[in-house]
């Protein structure tokens, strides 16, 4: 085993280094030798250097093998076989101990080398390092609590949501390992719901409800919650959406699979559509409308409208992303089945077809104006 050289190698210096360092040590040490050096287990005797049998041990008057009787020759040969076997085991053990020494000496800080006396065994090294470095149970619990609270103090937002979820999962892993009180009686779900409420009222209510369910609020459920949370909030990593009161955001509806109304784009702070990006700000218009300002003033009037094409409340036909692809802000996903359904409905309705054609013509005229 070569000494570790990775940039991720943990150097044992402080109490917080002990756990990852000890885990790395166990991973690098051969499993056959580990029980003999594990400082957390009772000491076990190592194989001692075997003594090589001689002819004189069998017959004090003989110096050569042929001077032994047939019976004595069998005894001598049997003794040599046992010796060779013990010597092979001893050599393997010695090599494994040497590799463990190399790992330890190359992954402890200079100040920790004072505990590594040359004549001490590997196990004695680890016993001293553990006694002088390993944090107490109380310290580990407090550190896990601090990490848990630290993650929740940083509110998830924008493109950092993925990293925030990873940090939350890591804090939950430590919290479950050390049994921190925040993971009892569904409190962790309430804390999570509060943290993500600025992103989604739907998920807030969902996790608050789950917190009162004995089965769904078990700390071990955090793995599944993390997976679903990542799926539900994935869209916000592309285009952060700001909802109005009572609104959700697109990812909520995708995650819950409901047919609730998707609010019109004018109710959000979104990036301009792909078509509008190349226009000067004063000339950007949407199909079938006069201006952005006029649309904003009419957003309230259209909040209860149902689009005749896609069937979603919150926008009229001119603002339908399923029909007018260029109106959809870049990065906002759209259900392919919903688009297909809307296009089919337009195709089957002569009235809708004429309206769409008229709106497209008006949009083209606006482009050339």
261 pLDDT more than 80: no
* Residue of 244 and 332 predicted with greater confidence: 332
262 pLDDT more than 70: no
Which tens digits make up the pLDDT trace of 189-224? 999 999 999 888 999 999 999 999 999 999 999 999
* Residue of 338 and 58 predicted with greater confidence: 58
Which tens digits make up the pLDDT trace of 151-176? 999 888 766 788 999 999 999 999 99
- How confident is the prediction for the chain on average, in pLDDT? 80
**Who's near 350: CB < 8 A, 6+ residues apart?**
none
Give pLDDT, residue 310: 86
258 pLDDT more than 50: no
Which tens digits make up the pLDDT trace of 29-42? 999 999 999 999 99
* Residue of 85 and 246 predicted with greater confidence: 85
pTM: 0.51
| pLDDT (average), residues 106-127 | 94
**Who's near 209: CB < 8 A, 6+ residues apart?**
none
End-to-end CA distance of the chain: 74
pLDDT class of 109 with cuts at 50, 70, 90: very high
| pLDDT (average), residues 46-66 | 94
Give pLDDT, residue 334: 72
Which 3-state string (H, E, C) describes the chain? Answer: CCCCCCCCCCCECCHHHHHHHHHHHHHHCCCCCHHHHCCCCCCCCCCCCCCCCCHHHHCCCCCCHHHCCHHHHHHHHHHHHHHHHHHHHHHHHHHHHHHHHHHHHHHECHHHHHHCCCCCCHHHHHHHHHHHHCCCHHHHHHHHHHHHHHHHHCCCCHHHHHHHHHHHHHHHHHHHHHCCHHHCCCHHHHHHHHHHCCCCHHHHHHHHHHCCCCCCCCHHHHHHHHHHHHHHCHHHHCCCCCCCCCCCCHHHHHHHCCCCCCCCHHHCCCCCECCHHHCCHHHCCCCCCCCHHHHHHHHHHHCCCECCCCCCECCCHHHCCCCCHHHCECCCCCCHHHHHHHHHHHHHCHHHHHHHHHHHHHHHHHHHC
pLDDT > 90 in the chain, percent: 53
108 pLDDT more than 70: yes
104 pLDDT more than 70: yes
């Amino acid at each position: 085993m070569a000494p570790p050289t990775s940039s991720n190698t943990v150097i044992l210096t402080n109490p917080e280094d002990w756990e990852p360092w000890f885990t790395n040590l166990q991973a690098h040490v051969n499993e056959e030798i580990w029980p003999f050096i594990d400082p957390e287990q009772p000491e076990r005797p190592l194989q001692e250097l075997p003594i090589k049998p001689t002819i004189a041990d069998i017959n004090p008057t003989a110096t050569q093998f042929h001077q032994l009787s047939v019976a004595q020759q069998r005894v001598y040969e049997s003794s040599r076989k046992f010796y060779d076997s013990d010597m092979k085991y001893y050599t393997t053990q010695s090599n494994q101990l040497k590799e463990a020494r190399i790992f330890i000496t190359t992954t402890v800080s200079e100040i920790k080398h004072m505990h590594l006396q040359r004549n001490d065994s590997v196990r004695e090294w680890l016993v001293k390092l553990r006694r002088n470095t390993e944090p107490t149970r109380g310290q580990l619990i407090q550190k896990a609590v601090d990490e848990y609270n630290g993650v929740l103090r940083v509110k998830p937002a924008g493109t950092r949501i993925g990293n925030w979820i990873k940090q939350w999962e890591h804090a939950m892993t430590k919290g479950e390992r050390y049994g921190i009180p925040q993971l009892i009686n569904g409190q962790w779900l309430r804390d999570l719901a509060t943290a993500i409420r600025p992103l989604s009222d739907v998920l807030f209510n969902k996790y608050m409800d789950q917190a009162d369910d004995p089965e769904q609020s078990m700390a071990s459920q955090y793995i599944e919650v993390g997976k679903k949370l990542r799926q539900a909030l994935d869209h916000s990593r592309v285009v952060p959406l700001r909802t109005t009161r009572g609104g959700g955001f697109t990812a909520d509806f995708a995650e819950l699979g409901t047919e609730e109304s998707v609010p019109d784009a004018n109710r959000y702070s979104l990036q301009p559509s792909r078509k509008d990006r190349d226009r000067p700000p004063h000339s950007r218009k949407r199909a079938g409308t006069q201006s952005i300002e006029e649309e904003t003033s009419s957003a309230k009037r259209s909040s209860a409208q149902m689009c005749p094409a896609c069937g979603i409340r919150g926008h009229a036909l001119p603002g339908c992303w399923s029909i007018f692809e260029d109106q959809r802000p870049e990065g906002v996903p759209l259900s392919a089945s919903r688009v297909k359904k809307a296009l089919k409905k337009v195709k089957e309705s002569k009235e809708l077809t004429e309206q769409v054609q008229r709106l497209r013509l008006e949009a083209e005229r606006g482009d050339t104006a």
